[in-house]
Structure 1
Amino acid sequence: MRITGRRALVVGGAGGIGAAIADTFADAGATVLVADRRPPGRHPGITLDVTDEQSVADGVAEAVARLGGIDVLVNSAGVLDQAEVATMPTETWRRTIDVDLTGVFLVTRAVLPHMTAQRWGRIITIASQLGIKGSPSMAHYAAAKAGVIGFTKSLAQEVAGAGVLVNAIAPGPVETEMTADLTPDWRAGKTAELPLGRFGAAAEVAPTALLLASEPGGNLYVGQTLHPNSGDVMP
């Protein structure tokens, strides 16, 4: 599964799953540009705030100029925290929806014309198994990720005929900076639910993105959600 010569924009690629995908793509021969609010780390990067429409427009324009086009888009920017619905501040709900769902829409909309013009593209968005099964104290996050899955299915039907394949990845719990901040009780309870008995690692999710971005490996995936999730959901 190589993607030699492909130009990949990894949004949210400065840490966690996004960083692992950026590394995996680069090792497989892609030219990688990371877009994030934080310093990019190993790869060249640009500053982009997925909640700001102008920042997204400017960032995508810069990415196209620097890469010469975009073949693969990875939407991996996200936030994760805990709050029960009865006491959840409206701002907490809005921030999660803005980053985890609306941000996916804004970046994807900005990139699409470049992909449809060249009649080839792969769009891969990081969802979550919680968008399928839900979780106490994470209704806002689960709602956003369920929205990502629905968005993926709908957009895939719109643009597959133009050569742009749109898919999602719904990881189970993964050891990242975000999950490290979850309560010990939640982490312990979730670990006990997993048939595999452990959280995953970001590097164990990244090969799924490589499959979807590659040829011929990803050629038949249209509107799919793939599940590297330690057995938490068995669709």
Structure 2
Amino acid sequence: MKNLCCLMAVLYMFVLAAIPARAQEAGSSYGTMVGPQDFFEFEELASRPMPQITDEETSIPDYRAMYIARAKRFEAFLDKYPGSPLKPEVLLRVALLYLGVERQEIRALRQELFFCQGMALKQHDQRRFDLCKQRFALDIIGAGGPTDPVYEHLARQILDELVERYPHARRYIMSEPSVGGFRFDEEEIGAFALYLLAGGALPEERRGIYELIITEYKIRKEIRREIQNRIGSP
């Protein structure tokens, strides 16, 4: 899944009213809603920014630690509310965060990039600044890609589970900033999970997954259009 294309951008939506009714619309196998508290806590958690964690010696952002820390917060939510109708959405977010966890060695490469570009800025050398970034990109490729293979494997397991157990559960995401709040979207958990899995599939397998998404699932129009362009579907 090295080329996994993750649309990390969250779609924003409306609704806190009538949460119990909307919980039944989620497509979850959980027939009984835990209560509004799990919705409130999820919305607070999902609205928080990524935790800021830096290296104590260099103050360089530790992106690996950031993604792991945020994933643990969602995992703690699942432990607290194992029967929540929001479980499919939370699992999907955990998988997305796992896909963002960098390999251990990327941290050292990022430190090299920081000092390399810092020196270039001091010397007002744009060419050297750009070369630092190019070398960083090549070093990541040489390391086997940015994503930690252990977390990548865990993410794939979660995505497979979502496709199998919650294929048509609906996304619970934030509304447009001007509207505020969260609501259940038409986009289905299984569709987005398959879209992510397709990024790591072989070309011949990828086309089959894309066709399955188009014919059997609901997914946001931007991704549907992208898929249609890739497979040449009207």
Per the TM superposition, whether the score is higher than 0.5 is no
More helix by share: 2
Structure with max Cα Rg: 2
Bigger relative contact order, structure 1 or 2, given CA contacts below 8 A and separation 6+?
2
TM-score by length of structure 2 reads 0.30
More strand by share: 1
TM-score by length of structure 1 reads 0.30
